[in-house]
Amino acid sequence: MNLIGFLVGLLVIIVGTIYVGNLGDEREIGSERSVILSLLTSPFIALIIVLLSKKKDTAPNVVFEEMSSNEFVSNSAKMKQIIATENKIGKEQLQIRQLREIIERKDNEIIRLKKTLIEKEILIKSLANSKC
């Protein structure tokens, strides 16, 4: 009976260690560290630690592998359109900025001309009052 219990326990530890190693392969901790951690502590504790570790970022590679050549060409054309649109938007933003600067200069010129006009009106009124 003890031998059967020992073998079942050993089998559980081996299966748990393999499972934790496979999970660790998808994570930054890696499968080797996961297996070593599982053997040094227990598969259950190692499982918790592996699940708390960060996942590997493999999404961009998967996207390119699954894309057919037609999809890639289509996506390339879409990217070119997006870049062209962004360039057009950038040019339009530059034009808007330049127009704002022109308007600001014109506003400053209008303010200067108003001051000059007011000064001339004051001078004319003072001359008219001095003649009387």
Q: Is 62 inside a domain boundary?
A: no
| Total domains present in the chain | 2
Q: Would you write out the chain's pLDDT as a tens digit for each of its 132 residues?
A: 588 888 888 899 999 999 999 999 888 888 898 989 888 988 899 989 999 988 887 655 545 556 566 676 677 778 888 888 888 888 888 888 888 898 888 888 999 999 999 998 988 888 888 876
Judgement on whether residues 12 and 42 belong to the same structural domain of the protein: yes
The closest alpha carbon to 46, from 69, 23, 78, 79, belongs to: 23
Query: Which residue range(s) make up the domain with 28?
Result: 1-56
Which three-class secondary structure state does DSSP give residue 83?
A: helix
24 and 30 Cβ atoms separated by less than 8 Å: yes
Judgement on whether residues 29 and 6 belong to the same structural domain of the protein: yes
